[in-house]
Amino acid sequence: MEWIDIGVNLTDAAFDKDREAVLDRACEAGVSQMVLTSTSLDSCPATQALCAQAPGQLFCTAGVHPHEARHWHTAQASDLRSLAAAESVKAIGECGLDFNRDFSPRPLQLKALEDQLSLAAELGYPVFLHERDASQTLIELLADYRDRLPAAVVHCFAADKQALYRYLDMDLHIGITGWICDERRGTHLRPLMQDIPAGRLMLETDAPWLLPRTLSPRPKNRRNEPAYLPWVADMVAQCREESLETLSEHTCATARIFFNLPPGSIPH
């Protein structure tokens, strides 16, 4: 069975010692393609270099995370435009708003996001969005850009039913992670899965974070990796009351359309 992981932080130091083995395990688990997340302009070249080593398997985003927005200035839009020209880049992001941790002042988060949305609209790229405790503000800001964007996904969706419905009303896609496997904080997501139409749902690990708590035995290092995406898929399929085969078929098709990915292949 095939899976596409739309959010992997493969340049994270957690993978420095065994990155190739991580990719091998992902293939063995049926994860045929991955979209690697860029979170800063400094990280983009390393992410793109990884993609160049595995064309057809690895792709990436290019953008600045809201945690890094405190470093954003308008001139960086030009640098981002140049980085986005790489063949491996399939979306602008990870960009958005994080009013939970507020590592960057909110006005700077808004400025960085607006500049990146403008660039995505100009270049015709979809957008890979981060949102924490900021759904109302994000929706209000997106209203000015949505008609000019080809598509946008709320990555690692963890908000409530009201936010989900408003995102779907704006024709946004939804990324689901191992958060849904967390019996302490993710159970509210489970009844919402049937509300996400096929064609708007995609799956991701957000590795090395958000290890599925349904995984048994759990790795001693607590590190998540793309090979564990099937545990996310299993929970989502249960909640949607559909087969894993059906979930695989429509989430992979959706990811390929959204990110303009070529057909994938997995070992048999």
Question: Mapping DSSP to helix (H, G, I), strand (E, B) and coil, where does residue 66 land?
Answer: helix
Report the Cα 149 to chain-centroid distance in Å.
Answer: 17
Instruction: Round to whole Å and give the CA distance between 140 and 214.
Output: 36
| Paired strand residues for 58 | 34
User: Which pLDDT value is given to residue 268?
Assistant: 41
User: Which pLDDT value is given to residue 266?
Assistant: 61
Contacts of 180 (CB under 8 A, 6+ apart): 186, 189, 190, 193, 232, 235, 236, 239
The answer to whether residues 174 and 135 touch, using CB atoms and an 8 Å cutoff, is no
The answer to whether residues 34 and 235 touch, using CB atoms and an 8 Å cutoff, is no
User: Which pLDDT value is given to residue 74?
Assistant: 83
User: Which pLDDT value is given to residue 267?
Assistant: 47
Which of 182, 183, 240, 242 has the alpha carbon at shortest distance from 206?
Answer: 182
HSE of 81, CA atoms in CB hemisphere, 13 A:
12
Residue-wise pLDDT tens digits, 60-83: 999 999 999 999 998 899 999 999
The answer to whether residues 223 and 142 touch, using CB atoms and an 8 Å cutoff, is no
Which residues in the chain show pLDDT less than 70? Answer: 266-268
Instruction: Round to whole Å and give the CA distance between 152 and 202.
Output: 12
Q: Determine if the pTM surpasses 0.95.
A: yes
Task: State the angle between helix axes of 76-83 and 106-123 in degrees (0 to 180), rounded to the nearest 10.
Answer: 40
Instruction: Give every strand in the sheet of 58-62, ordered side by side.
Output: 3-8, 31-36, 58-62, 89-98, 127-132, 152-154, 173-176, 201-203
User: Which pLDDT value is given to residue 75?
Assistant: 87
Overall residue count recorded for the chain in this entry? 268
Task: State the angle between helix axes of 244-259 and 229-240 in degrees (0 to 180), rounded to the nearest 10.
Answer: 110
Which of 162, 142, 140 has the alpha carbon at shortest distance from 153?
Answer: 142
User: What domains, with CATH codes, occur in the chain?
Assistant: 3-259 (3.20.20.140)
Instruction: Round to whole Å and give the CA distance between 108 and 123.
Output: 23
The answer to whether residues 228 and 28 touch, using CB atoms and an 8 Å cutoff, is no
